[in-house]
Every structure is written in C-alpha cells, then in structure tokens.
Amino acid sequence: MNLAIKKVPLYVIALILLVFTGYPFLYMISTSLKSRTEFFEKPYSLFSSFTLENFKSVFEMGLSRYFLNSILVSVIAVVAVMLIAALASYPLSRMKFKLNRVVFLLFIAGMMLPIHATLIPVFKLSQSMGLYDTVWALLGPYIASSLPISIFILTQFMQEIPASLEEAAKIDGCSHFGIFWRVILPMLTPALMTVLIYNFIHLWNEFIFALVLISSPENMTLPLGLQDFKGEFSVNIPGLMAALTLASLPILVVYLFSQEKVVKGLAGGAVKE
Amino acid sequence: METQLKGVRTANTAVQPAVRPKRKSVNKFVTISLFLAPAIIVYVFYVLYPIFSTLLYSFYKWDGVGAGTYVGLQNYVNLLKDNVFWTSLTNNTWVILTSIFVQIPLGLIMALMLLAPIRGIRLFSGVYFFPFLISTVAVGLLWVLMLDPLNGIINRLVSVFGFENVEWLSQSHTAMFAVLLVIVWQFSPFYMILFKAAIVGIPEELYEAAEIDGANAFTKFFRITLPLLMPTIVSSSILAIVGSLKAFDIFYVMTGGGPNHGTELLGTYMFKQAFVNFNMGYASAIAFVMFFLAMIVTILIQALDFYRKKKGAYA
C-alpha cells in the first residue's frame, strides 16, 4: 500500500507527459473526422463523429500527387545514399591512405552545416541545369545532404568488422570490390537499416529545399503541398486536419510496427550500443 | 628455347620488386578513388562548391538575374547595421537557450519516466516519441490551429487561469513563446532517446552499492545518474546548439518570422532576403554568417574535446 502511494507522483508525471505529447495527435485525427459545422459547434470534443468526407475532398484536391512525388524522391534518394555512402565508407574505414582523415572530416563536417549556406547556389544550379521546378531538382541536394550522417553511421559500423574476414577473402584472390560486395555489404545490413530509416524520415519531411526548388503544385512534395493547402483550407479546418493525418500516417504506421528500429534509426549515430 | 624463356622469366621477376610497389600504389589509388568518387562528386557539387559560391556572392549586390555588382564587404557592413539581423541573432540565441535549458531537461525527465517502476511503459514510450516523427510542416500547422485565438484548445486551457482570447501568434513576445513551446514539444523526444540509452548503460552495481550505503532515490540520481550522464548532456547540448542555428521550418510555417520580425531567425531572414526580396548578395552574406557561426561552434567543440582527451591521457 505504502509503495503504491509512493508511485502516485510518478504516474501523475507520466500521464501529464502522455497528454502533452499525445493529445495533439488525438485532436488532429478526431478533428479530421468531423464535419465543418460540427467543428464550429464543438471544436474540442474528441471522436464525437466519424465522417470520411474530409479525406475524400483532400484527395480530390490533389494530395495523392504530393504523395507520389514524395515517395518517388525519397525512395530514389535513400537508395542512392545507401549505395554511395557504403562505397565511400569502405576505404574511409578500412584502408590506409594519405588523405583519409581529411576526406572523412570533410564529409562529417557536413552534419554541422546550415543548409542555408548552400541554398542560393543550389537554386542557381538547378535553374541552369533545367531541373528547377521538377522533382528531380531535389535528388542532388537530398543525396548530398544525407551523405554526412550516413557515412558517419556506416564508417563507425565498418570499423567493427574484423579484418581477418577481409584477409581471408584477399587470400582467395578477391579484389577490393569483391570484398566490398561479398564480405562487407552483407554484414552491413543493420547499419544500412539505420541509414535507411533516418534518411527516409528526414527526406519525407524535408521542407526547405522543396520550398526553394519547386513552385508548381503538381511537382510539390507532401510538406510543401501541406503548406500550400493552408491557404485553401483556411476555412476548412477539418479538411486540413485530414491532410495532416494522411501525410503523417505512413511514418506513424511504420513506427507502430517496428518501434525499436525506428527509434534507433532516428537517433542515428547518436546512440551506440 | 626453353632455357631462354626461363631466363626471361627470371629476369622479369628480378625487375619486378622495383616496379611493383609503384604499380601497386597506383592500383590502390585507383581503387580508393573509384570507391570515393560518387560520394565526392555529389558532395562537392551540392555542398562544398555552393558554400564557396555563397561566400563569393556575398561580395556582390545581385538580384539573382544576370551579373551582380561587386561591392566588397558592403553587405557585411550593412548587416552589422541591420536591426533585423540583430533581432534574428537574439532569437536564434533564445532557441539555443530553450533547447539546452528546457528541451534537454525535459528529455531527461521523459527518459527517467520510461525507466521508472510503473505500469504502461510500452504505451508511454510509444506515444512520447510521436512528436519527433511527423514533419515540421504538419507540426506547425497543427499547433497554429491549437493556438487559434477563437477555436484553439490552448486558449481554452489558459482561460482557466483568467486569460481570455490571447492572440498567441499576433504579438511578438507571445509568438516567440508559442513557437518555442512547439519546438520543445517536437524535439524533447529526441533527447529522451539519447538519455534513455545512456541511463540503460549505467551499471546496476553502482546503484546496488549505493543502496547498501543507505542512499535514497534523490542521492542516487544526483550522485550517480547525473554525473555519469554528463557526456550525453554535453553531446546533446552540441546537437541543440547546431540544430538551433539551423532552425527554419517551424518558424516559417507558424509565423513566417513575424509579426514585425518578432520571431525572425537568421534562417527565415536569409530566406526572405533571397527568395522574396531577391537581394541574393545580402542573403548570401547572412547565409555565410550562419555557416561561419556553425563552423566556430564546431571548431570550439573539437578543440575542447581534443583538450579533454589530452588531459585525460596525462591523468
């Protein structure tokens, strides 16, 4: 009994934090299920009605286009980053050469870089390459800005792989590329998983490059499209909430199914085990 | 014939040692270059060269079309006289301070709750992390509605304390407060994860030993947990400082830097100068200041780390 009373403050704090972190999501989802008139009558009621009208109108306004653009860009960029970063991490973590440290630090320093310092030149570049206002304009900046953290995660992991494996392959006559493909890459799966999750979520949510490099609605990614919706939905708040719910859904679903992996992935290189 | 061939072969092997190291090092150079090439090309093209260009542009008065006029350091001189620049810098500092003194402690509290002897941990840990998952744009739009003067839940909440119809985002000081609150909401879960991993790593024996010595929960926390978490607190602070310098999305979505530059940041101001006013040269100067500040912070941290390690080596 005494012990149970002692725990009351703990439960109170835990519940306050639960409401603080979770309530906005309940509000978002429950508002998205209300009709407009109901929202004005009872703006605070939770799950008082369940209409899918808003979701329908959101799709009619072109949300699916934003979805497709976001999927296209994030998937291509993430796959490219995984491959390019893994290739670069191999010599950086497992071969001795003069500029190793310099090249490594140059990449890693990118994690500290404010994107703004590259914004205007990247904008000019995409204009001069004729990519401005296409989804393809985003690929280069997305891959480049994801490289530092990815190389950081992968080199850390690769250093742990014992050299004996590599030497055995070398004796069998494997070239460095052979070793990379057949020995290193298969062992890299957990680290690549981290890289995949971290970059996918970040690129899925990326805003500023999209804001600068894309102007027509049909080429917008989800975050930019949502921002664009804001104007059109200023009087239709349940509609806007439906759009927000849909945009957040894929990541929330992935999270519910593999919570631990997502948490570990999002913590990136910051959590070592 | 056969002896001749043999002779050639031995001659060849005799020469080889002189040639081989060179050829081998050329081979090695080619291999390394091939592995690094894709990453370096993309990185130079989209990161390193643009930084250099930004520096260059910052010496020009340029509207983004055609050629600009070289003005030397004029953009930087103007920047130092620009009140909005100083407001932005102050606001960036507020973001840094909030991150370090509110987000990190809150993250620590959340981590402690996840390891507390209570039921329902799975639910708590699942939900606590939600805010960090969704896009900043979605977070911003959601909170703008929750802060709405008429229909927002926040005003309903504060009306209990006698505040009526606060127009959160239309006045400078309340707007800054409101956005900082949202930043805390969004990023505390990230620090929670870092702290949780660090606390789990603390050996159980330390606590057992302390218990035998009669230590209570508070003593254990302040004498064992907190000191051992110091490295995590330091690295979290670094992430917070660097992240706060880059802050943009949430302010752009929620306030656009307004009202009247009240929530302007270096990031939002640079964006406005570049892509709204088309003062590309001036914007480049702001961007380069951001880069410079991030570089200084990074170098300082590296130097401190180096110094600490060196001291550690002698101890």
Q: Which two tokens stand for residue B81?
A: 């006289």
Three-class DSSP category at A113:
coil
Segment holding A92, helix H or strand E: helix A63-94
Q: What is the mean pLDDT of residues A122-148?
A: 94
Q: Which two tokens stand for residue B67?
A: 């050629």
* Confidence check: pLDDT of B20 > 80: no
User: What pLDDT, on the 0 to 100 scale, is given for residue B197?
Assistant: 87
The model's confidence at residue B12, banded by pLDDT at 50, 70 and 90, is very low
* Confidence check: pLDDT of B41 > 90: yes
The model's confidence at residue B258, banded by pLDDT at 50, 70 and 90, is confident
User: Which residue out of A8, A112, A224 would a mutagenesis test of the B interface target, given it has the greatest number of B Cβ atoms within 10 Å?
Assistant: A112
Q: Which two tokens stand for residue A51?
A: 């209409």
The model's confidence at residue B77, banded by pLDDT at 50, 70 and 90, is very high
User: What pLDDT, on the 0 to 100 scale, is given for residue B65?
Assistant: 82
ipTM rounded to 2 decimals: 0.89
Three-class DSSP category at B70:
strand
**Domains with residue ranges and CATH for chain B:** 88-278 (1.10.3720.10)
* Confidence check: pLDDT of A260 > 50: yes
- For residue A85, the distance in angstroms to the closest alpha carbon of chain B comes to 7
- For residue B1, the distance in angstroms to the closest alpha carbon of chain A comes to 32
User: What pLDDT, on the 0 to 100 scale, is given for residue A2?
Assistant: 65
Q: Which residues of A touch B120 (CB under 8 A)?
A: 14
* Confidence check: pLDDT of B10 > 50: no
Q: Do B43 and A180 touch (CB under 8 A)?
A: no
For chain A, positions 13-32, list CB contacts with chain B under 8 A: 13-14, 17-18, 20-22, 24-25, 27-28, 31
C-alpha to C-alpha distance for B105 and B99, rounded to whole angstroms: 9
C-alpha to C-alpha distance for B302 and B296, rounded to whole angstroms: 10
Option in B34, B133, B142 nearest A24 (CB): B142
Least-confidence region, from A98-107, B162-171, B252-261: B162-171
Q: Which residues of B touch A4 (CB under 8 A)?
A: none
Q: How far is CA B244 from CA A260, B91, B148, B175, B297, in A?
A: 27, 10, 25, 17, 12
The model's confidence at residue B238, banded by pLDDT at 50, 70 and 90, is confident
Rounded percentage of chain A residues whose pLDDT exceeds 90: 47
CATH of A62-227+259-270, one of 3.90.1310.10, 2.130.10.10, 1.10.3720.10, 3.40.640.10: 1.10.3720.10
Q: Do B197 and A247 touch (CB under 8 A)?
A: no
* Confidence check: pLDDT of A119 > 50: yes
Segment holding A46, helix H or strand E: none
Segment holding A270, helix H or strand E: none
Query: What is the count of residue pairs from A and B with beta carbons less than 8 Å apart?
Result: 262
Option in B116, B117, B133 nearest A201 (CB): B133
* Confidence check: pLDDT of A148 > 60: yes
C-alpha to C-alpha distance for B266 and B90, rounded to whole angstroms: 9
Q: Provide the mean pLDDT of chain A.
A: 88
- The residue ranges of every structural domain in chain A are 2-51, 62-227+259-270
For chain B, positions 218-237, list CB contacts with chain A under 8 A: 235
Q: Is the CB of A115 inside 8 Å of chain B's CB atoms?
A: yes
Q: Which residues of A touch B197 (CB under 8 A)?
A: 267, 271-273
Q: Which two tokens stand for residue B44?
A: 């130079």
* Tally of CA atoms within 13 A in the half-sphere of B49 that contains its CB: 14
- For residue A59, the distance in angstroms to the closest alpha carbon of chain B comes to 17
C-alpha to C-alpha distance for A76 and A88, rounded to whole angstroms: 18
For chain A, positions 49-78, list CB contacts with chain B under 8 A: none
Q: Do A263 and B129 touch (CB under 8 A)?
A: yes
Provide the residue type at B312 as one letter: G
Q: Do B252 and A92 touch (CB under 8 A)?
A: no
* Confidence check: pLDDT of B251 > 60: yes
Option in A28, A92, A114 nearest B246 (CB): A114
**CA angle A111–B182–A9, rounded 5-degree value:** 110
